[in-house]
C-alpha cells in the first residue's frame, strides 16, 4: 500500500512538467486562402499555448484572413518552405512545436495524436502517409514512388527507420530541432530533418494519417525540382556526416 502511494507521489513532478510544457502551433502558408477558410474551425487551437502563422508573402488574402482571426502573422524574410520552418521556429518559444500546413493535405484531427506522441519518449513525430492504417488521396504513383525511394535511402544511410521521411506534418522538441542546425532551404527541409534526426539517433515515431486532396489554390512543390534537391541533400548529408552540429562548421 505504501509502495503504490510512494510511486504515485514520485510521478507528480513528471506530470506537472508535462502540464507546464509550452506547446507551439506553427502554421505554414503561402497563398492558401481556400484551405485556411475551410480548415479554420477544425484546428484545435486550444491545445496550444502559442500560435504563429509564418507566411511566404501571400497575395490571395491569406495574410488578412489569419490577422482578422487575431493570430500573429509573420512574413518570412527568406523565400521557401524550409526558410519558413527555420524562421518560424526562431520566433516561437514553445518546447514542443507542431508544423501544420492548411492546404487540405493534412488532417487537423491528427493534431492531438501528434502532440500526445511527442509528450512521451519521443523526439520527432511524423504523420506517415505510407504505413499500416495510412492513406493518401493526393500522392500520384510517381510521387509515391519518389517518396518511398527517398525514405528507403534515408533509412539506408542514416538509420532513420521511418516509412515516410518527407511529410511535413510533424512535431518536434525545440532542443532537438535546434541541434539539427537546418539551413533555410526550400522543400528539402523535412527530408534533411529526418536524415539528421537519424544520424543523431533521435527517437522518431510515426502515426498513420490520411492525406487528403489539396482544397484550392495551387501546388508550390514541383516533383522534379523537389526530387533533384533531395538528391543534392542526400549526397551532402552523406558527405558531411555529423559536421552540422554547433561547434563544427555551421552548415549554411
Ligand X SMILES: Nc1nc2c(ncn2[C@@H]2O[C@H](COP(=O)(O)OP(=O)(O)OP(=O)(O)O)[C@@H](O)[C@H]2O)c(=O)[nH]1
Binding site for Mg ion (CB under 5 A): 103, 105
Output 151 or 198, the one with its CB closest to Mg ion.
Answer: 151
Least distance CB 85 / ligand X (angstroms): 8
Least distance CB 27 / ligand X (angstroms): 8
Q: Can you tell me the distance from the alpha carbon of 56 to that of 193, in angstroms, rounded to the nearest whole number?
A: 20
Output 187 or 202, the one with its CB closest to ligand X.
Answer: 187
Q: Which residues lie near ligand X (CB under 6 A)? A: 28-30, 32, 54-56, 76, 79-81, 84, 101, 103, 105, 138, 214, 219-221
Residue whose C-alpha is closest to residue 169's, from 26, 51, 22: 26
* Residue 192 contact among Mg ion, ligand X, none, beta carbon within 5 to 8 Å by kind: none
**Those residues with Cβ within 8 angstroms of residue 106's Cβ, 6 or more apart along the chain or in another chain:** 100, 127, 168, 169, 209, 211
C-alpha cell of 25?
A: 502551433
Q: Can you tell me the distance from the alpha carbon of 220 to that of 136, in angstroms, rounded to the nearest whole number?
A: 18
Q: What are phi and psi of 119, to 5 degrees?
A: -70, -20
* Residue 82 contact among Mg ion, ligand X, none, beta carbon within 5 to 8 Å by kind: none
Least distance CB 65 / ligand X (angstroms): 13
Q: What are phi and psi of 176, to 5 degrees?
A: -75, -40
Output 94 or 217, the one with its CB closest to Mg ion.
Answer: 217
Q: Can you tell me the distance from the alpha carbon of 245 to that of 251, in angstroms, rounded to the nearest whole number?
A: 8
Output 105 or 167, the one with its CB closest to Mg ion.
Answer: 105
* Residue 84 contact among ligand X, Mg ion, none, beta carbon within 5 to 8 Å by kind: ligand X
Amino acid at each position: 500500500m505504501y509502495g503504490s502511494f510512494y510511486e504515485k507521489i514520485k510521478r507528480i513532478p513528471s506530470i506537472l512538467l508535462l502540464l507546464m510544457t509550452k506547446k507551439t502551433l506553427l502554421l505554414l502558408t503561402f497563398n492558401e486562402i481556400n484551405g485556411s477558410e475551410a480548415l479554420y474551425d477544425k484546428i484545435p487551437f486550444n491545445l496550444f499555448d502559442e500560435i504563429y502563422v509564418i507566411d511566404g508573402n501571400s497575395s490571395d488574402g491569406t495574410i488578412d484572413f489569419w490577422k482578422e482571426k487575431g493570430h500573429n502573422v509573420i512574413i518570412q524574410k527568406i523565400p521557401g518552405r524550409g526558410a519558413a520552418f527555420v524562421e518560424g521556429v526562431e520566433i516561437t518559444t514553445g518546447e514542443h512545436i507542431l508544423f501544420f500546413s492548411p492546404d487540405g493535405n493534412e488532417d487537423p484531427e491528427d493534431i492531438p495524436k501528434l502532440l500526445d506522441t511527442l509528450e512521451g519518449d519521443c523526439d520527432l513525430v511524423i504523420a506517415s502517409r505510407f504505413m499500416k492504417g495510412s492513406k493518401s488521396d493526393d500522392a500520384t504513383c510517381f510521387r509515391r514512388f519518389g517518396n518511398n525511394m527517398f525514405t528507403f535511402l534515408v533509412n539506408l544511410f542514416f538509420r532513420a527507420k521511418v516509412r515516410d521521411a518527407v511529410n511535413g506534418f510533424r512535431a518536434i522538441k525545440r532542443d532537438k530541432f535546434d541541434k539539427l542546425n537546418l539551413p533555410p532551404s526550400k522543400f528539402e527541409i523535412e527530408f534533411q530533418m529526418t536524415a539528421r534526426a537519424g544520424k543523431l539517433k533521435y527517437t522518431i515515431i510515426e502515426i498513420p494519417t490520411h492525406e487528403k486532396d489539396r482544397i484550392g489554390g495551387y501546388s508550390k512543390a514541383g516533383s522534379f525540382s523537389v526530387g533533384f534537391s533531395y538528391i543534392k541533400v542526400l549526397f551532402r548529408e552523406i558527405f558531411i556526416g555529423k559536421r552540422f552540429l554547433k561547434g563544427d562548421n555551421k552548415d549554411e
